[in-house]
Amino acid sequence: MDLKNQIELELYFADHFDTILFPVLADIYLNQEDYRRARKVCNIGLGYHENDSAGRFVLAKIEKAEGNLKDAEKELKHAIKYSPDHIDAAIMYCEIQTVLGRSPSRLLTSWKKVFLLDPSNQTAKEFIEKVESSNKEDSKAKPQAKKKTKKTNTSKTKRKIEESTDSLNVSVRLATFTLVNVLKNQALFYQALEVLDLLEQKGEDPDMIRLERNSVKTLIKTSEKENKKS
């Protein structure tokens, strides 16, 4: 069978729902942006092969394409569990965890797995060095923390502002308008502006980018006013 021939695959799948080739057909539909059919093929195939990492990975890509990042994260976790050396799934897992704002400790664990699979991965190397260096600096500064007990509320507000302005460091290929909306809903406005800059680099709709940028800037002003009142 020609695995690149869509018609042959469709005919074969229609007669063999239990085939392990289902991720190939699902991926063809995914590349055509036919998410409904891609999802249907994955759901049928995974009904027979629950632990198929390739099928889980394709389903994760569908979830990501439709903006369901938490569901994509869940499917990627399964894909990595069933195939620990699945480097593409491991990298995408890290990227989506970053977008979802997972804790640095969780991200560090995930990027270390990527680095273990691919020591040449520059993003993994830089992230690990950055977090471990930051942890060392924090441990050195701990003895002075007790002297600032009276400024608890101020320090909390400052920390919140710092967290909201942290760089997202998301890859260009992960940048979408859906991601911008996800970040806006999580009040990560500066990170949303970052993604809009990436979309501009990709040559996406300039009018849409301008409208979104104005919207985000308005939200930032509103947020700053509320912080001053509190």
The pLDDT tens digits of the residues spanning 146-200 come to 555 444 454 544 444 444 555 666 666 667 777 777 777 667 888 888 888 888 8
pLDDT digits (tens, 9 = 90+) for 41-74: 999 999 999 999 999 999 999 999 998 999 999 9
Tens of pLDDT, residues 187-204: 788 888 888 888 888 888
Separation of alpha carbons 187 and 205, rounded Å: 23
Q: What average pLDDT is seen over the chain?
A: 84
**Mean pLDDT (whole number) for 132-145:** 68
Q: Can you tell me which residue has the tokens 């994509």?
A: 72
Q: What is the pTM of this model?
A: 0.63
Residue 18 near residue 48 (C-beta atoms within 8 A): yes
Element of type H or E holding 71: helix 69-82
Distance of CA 193 to the CA centre of its chain: 16
- pLDDT at position 135, please? 73
What is the reported pLDDT for 60? 97
Alpha-carbon gap, residue 59 to 29, rounded angstroms: 11
Cα separations (Å) of 98 from 26, 69, 106, 171, 174?
A: 26, 11, 10, 10, 11
Residue-wise pLDDT tens digits, 29-38: 999 999 999 9
Whole-number Cα distances in Å, 159 to 103, 153, 154, 163, 230: 15, 10, 9, 6, 15
